Chains A and B, each alone.
Chain A
Amino acid sequence: MKNIQLLKSVLSKHSGECEHSIVANDTTSYELFFVHGKLETVRKAKHSSAQISVFVKHDGKLGSGSFVADESATEQELESKIAEALGNAKMIFDEPYELPCDDNQSGGVIPSNLGGRDEKQVAADIAKAVLSACTQKDCGINALEVFVTTRVNTVLNSKGVDKSQTKHTVSVEVIPTCNAESESVELFETYEFGNLDEQAIIREIAARVEDVSMRAKAVKPQEKIDCPVILNPYDIREMFEELVSDAQYSSVYLHTNLHSVGDKWQSEPAHDKLTITMRGIVDGSPASALFDKDGTSLCDKTIVKDGELVANFGASRFAQYLGKEATGALGCIDVEVGNTSISELQSTPHLECVYLSGLQVDLYNDYIGGEIRLAYYFDGEKRIPVTGIAMSGKLSEVLNNVTLSKEKVVSGSYSGPEKIKLGKMNIF
């Protein structure tokens, strides 16, 4: 951000009355939008802004006030915003905590093979890879969006923290479509990568095109299905994101956590036991980061061991309130793989979900479920594409009946078993 020096200069005038932090983000994005394989829109976006927080100790408490400054902010505007934030801070009576100090970790570039590559060519190459992957008769890619993004995140504070991290990512939204005789059907697929592997994209899209051709043939089962359910990486991620949110220090401090350290997520595991580690960096994950918005360097933490919650995690403020070690706001969920191969998971009757309208995971209501738009039902002999059904179960019972594949995948913030089989699900 160009005017970060101005920000530092204006804030330094208030060093006697407050501590401060600056979280600046500079984002550049190059984007292509295709319809039926034709280029519809080309976009280039550059955006910079900074969130400034001031912290005032008063009456034995701590108050904070925040505002956002953009590139156009003048010294006078910044002075005015700081004055308002200081006024706001003096009305807040939170328990005191300290800003993180400089830990001599300066940041850097999050490992990625995207760095230094021409964004226009990267976007064009991805588009070419996706569109070339669709070779099936009657199938096509109705819509494709490609985003090539570079984000530079800088954190400074009045305790000496001054670090930056650069992250390169690619996001893709793809709509594979099959125009069958009876009807036209589609799937909705989104991907975000920290590394670019064009061949992997081609393989993935080809597999989804195969799936969409099966959706055209999918039927509503005539009889009730009663078997375990296999989830794909996207829905596995949804499930674990909801589960781990309960283990954050902030949830504990606000008494909104359902489970405490020592509680068992799996009270009577019939198959695999869950072990989950929150990580800062996972190779290829777009959720990877070196430090969080406080500037705390991220420190990996195993939070669930053999089905038992063994630790919480989270940012500096709530860690201090609880007297715990700050891990930083860890964004990557790493689930230990199991011992069963995918082919073994698939060898007995099961329902393998390909496309859900959205997996609903409700920790408080002990619920997991969703509407199934495409799944493969394996009855022990045949693999039948099915649609028009839904599933639900008691989350606590389902967690006692998970089987984890030994094959591993990275999908967004999740890394872990590529497939998970869930027992005790009701299909209707």
Chain B
Amino acid sequence: MAIREFLSSRVEDCKRLVELLGEKFAYVSVLGCDVTTKNVLVNRRTSRVETDTDSDKGFVVKLSNGRAFFEYSADDVRGDVNALAQKILSEAVAADCLNDSMIHSRPVADEPLVKDFVRENDFANYTNAQLLECCTAIKDDILSKSENVVNAAVMLRLLDVNKLFVSKNRTLTQAYTWVNGIMVANYREGEKMVGVREGECSNLLGEVMKELPKKADRLVKKAQKLVAAKPVTPGVYDVITDPSVTGLLAHEAFGHGVEMDMFVKDRALAKSYMGKYVASPICNMRDGAASTLSVASYFFDDDGVLAHDTQIIKDGILVSGISDLVSASELGTEPTGNGRRQDHARKAYSRMTNTFFERGTDKLEDMIASIKHGYMIFETNNGMEDPKNWAIQCVAEYGIEIVDGKLTENYVSPVVMSGYVPDVLKSISMISDDFIVEGAGFCGKGHKEWVRVSDGGPALKLRVKLG
């Protein structure tokens, strides 16, 4: 068992808790979380090294008896397990007036499996001093490139995940890591200020420390361009999305729309479009913790369901959604390993993991050459879904005007892309043969429940409203 002592020492407590609560409930599981973090941040005038300031350590018990689901989150399960079981039974209950208004749910599958999953990492090879030195050197390099850089910030964010899942028939553990390197510059020319960023991510710290410094030059050159950027003239244009914005489109257009807890609530139009064309026939889209190696590549989800690689759109046809245990139970489907929690104190929902469009066959230069007047747009800022009514808004950091098949020096910023999802996806006419998935994102469910996600894909050519 490769998990740390906090969880490994509590396996028997979890099993005992499952046994005790199993006397009252048909399904009982315990998820243990021991997620440690380290953030090293250096900017022009301050620095810090923080350990575990966004960590997650604790347990959540899940219960089902054919009606509503009940959960109890606690910092520890060690000690008097009998007393804890009694506490759970007395506190994770509804007011009497609600007893008659609970759902009826199907029995939860609990297939036998005992397994430990481990992804090797290199965190132990580097000291805090080396991390600080790396960030400081990059910061100094950025500042040295122009007097107009008023501030530069460089951050390494290390994530080290240990999880334990125990039910009557399953005992699973997993251990894996992820690293995000981020650099940000604030650049001022006269009255105009811009903020720009670059990033690098990997499961290996050494990889990020090697690749991140190479992006400092690009960061400052981008700032020099964006400080002169103008707003885009609102209108409908031929647009090419870079892999980051492609990923945002996948995420907002059909990622949220196929989270199947939204099907249960009748909040997703996609429910009635299964088996129908929703995108151009050249489009293929996937999601899954097992679909690629990135920040959301776990081995089992927070319901103890093994990671999947789910095809969502195949040749333009919507073929599958993604689900957590509760929504699958209510819909009578198999869970797809997409049950995720922000932390042990929060509920699990159907959530995306690594979401992307698959690569196509076109060359990027041919895609640019095919546009008389339009824009290539770059870098995700944020987006907002509307699974019920398929409106979409994606905000990109900047765009470059394309005139007569060539990228110009005309930069626009910010760029807000909006439209009706099927119109946008059916307008996709070319897909590049390259492919990047970026693992630096966070995704909320509505305005809360933040989980780490990746998204990306190739470049797409489409027609859409910019404003």
Contacts and interface: CB of A to CB of B under 8 A. Distances in A.
Given A45-B73, A186-B267, A365-B231, A371 B414 contact: no
A5 B60 CA distance: 26
A35 B194 CA distance: 44
Given A31-B347, A72-B6, A185-B388, A39 B101 contact: yes
A68 B38 CA distance: 11
A128 B101 CA distance: 11
A72 B75 contact: yes
Contact of A364 (B132, B195, B231, B345): B195
A117 interface: no
B74 interface: yes
A360 B395 contact: yes
A188 B48 contact: no
B219 interface: no
A200 interface: no
A173 B265 contact: no
A44 B78 contact: no
Nearest to B186: A256
A142 interface: yes
Interface stretch (B86-94, B198-206, B284-292, B353-361): B86-94
Contact of A124 (B50, B68, B97, B234): B97
Scoring B6, B88, B231, B330 by chain A CB atoms within 10 A of each residue's CB, the highest score goes to: B231
B151 A256 contact: yes
A175 B234 contact: no
A320 interface: no
A256 B150 contact: yes
A84 B51 contact: yes
B101 A41 contact: no
Interface string A10-50: 00000000000000000101011101111111111111110
A386 interface: no
A254 B151 contact: yes
B179 interface: no
Contacts of A68: 51-53, 55
Interface string B60-80: 100000001111111110100
Contacts of A92: 47-49, 132
B408 to A, nearest CB: 19
A43 B347 contact: yes
Contact of A36 (B78, B98, B192, B266): B266
A40 B414 contact: no
Contacts of A94: 45-47
Given A37-B101, A39-B98, A365-B231, A47 B73 contact: yes
B6 to A, nearest CB: 7
Given A29-B345, A33-B347, A42-B71, A186 B48 contact: no
B393 interface: yes
B267 A38 contact: no
Interface in A86-123: 87-88, 91-95, 120-121, 123
B267 A357 contact: no
A365 B91 CA distance: 50
A201 to B, nearest CB: 17
Contacts of B94: 32, 39, 42, 120, 124
Contacts of A85: 51
Interface residues of B, number: 81
A255 B192 CA distance: 13
Interface residues of A, number: 80
A67 B36 CA distance: 10
B416 A258 contact: no
B340 interface: no
A295 interface: no
B266 A184 contact: yes
B129 to A, nearest CB: 6
B112 interface: no
Nearest to B264: A35
Contacts of B257: none
Contact of B98 (A93, A124, A143): A124
B177 interface: no
B333 interface: no
Contacts of B393: 357-358, 370-371
A328 interface: no
A232 interface: no
B73 A46 contact: yes
A155 interface: no
B44 A254 contact: yes
Interface in B449-465: 465
B54 to A, nearest CB: 8
A184 B128 CA distance: 54
Main secondary structure of the interface of B (DSSP, over half): mixed
Contact of A358 (B267, B346, B384): B384
A95 B45 contact: yes
Report whether over half of chain A's contact residues are helix, strand or loop; otherwise say mixed. strand
Contacts of A33: 347
Contact of B150 (A44, A45, A71, A255): A255
A42 B68 CA distance: 7
Contacts of B97: 124, 128
A42 B414 contact: no
B386 interface: yes
B414 A66 contact: no
B345 A27 contact: yes
A163 B51 CA distance: 24
Contacts of B78: 72
A173 B465 CA distance: 30
A175 B267 contact: yes
Contacts of B193: 256, 258, 364
Contact of B93 (A42, A71, A91): A42
Contacts of A66: 48-51, 53
A183 B102 CA distance: 28
Nearest to A38: B103
A131 to B, nearest CB: 9
A194 interface: no
Contacts of A256: 150-151, 186, 193, 195
A392 B231 contact: yes
A127 B388 contact: no
B391 interface: yes
Contact of A185 (B101, B326, B389, B416): B389
B370 interface: no
B151 A255 contact: yes
A362 B151 contact: no
Nearest to B388: A186
A71 B55 contact: no
B326 A41 contact: yes
Contacts of B70: 41-43
Contact of B345 (A45, A87, A88): A45
B166 to A, nearest CB: 18
B266 A173 contact: no
Interface string A47-79: 111010000000000001111101110000000
B171 to A, nearest CB: 21
B92 A44 contact: yes
B416 A392 contact: yes
B413 interface: yes
B73 A43 contact: yes
B418 interface: yes
Given A70-B75, A362-B414, 16 more contacts: A39-B94, A39-B103, A40-B330, A44-B88, A49-B75, A66-B50, A120-B93, A173-B448, A183-B389, A185-B389, A254-B43, A256-B186, A258-B193, A365-B194, A390-B234, A392-B234
- Shortest Cβ-Cβ A-B pairs, 10 listed: A45-B73, A88-B49, A357-B393, A124-B95, A357-B384, A68-B52, A67-B51, A255-B150, A371-B418, A371-B393
9 contacts: A42-B71, A44-B72, A70-B57, A142-B266, A357-B418, A360-B416, A365-B414, A390-B418, A390-B467
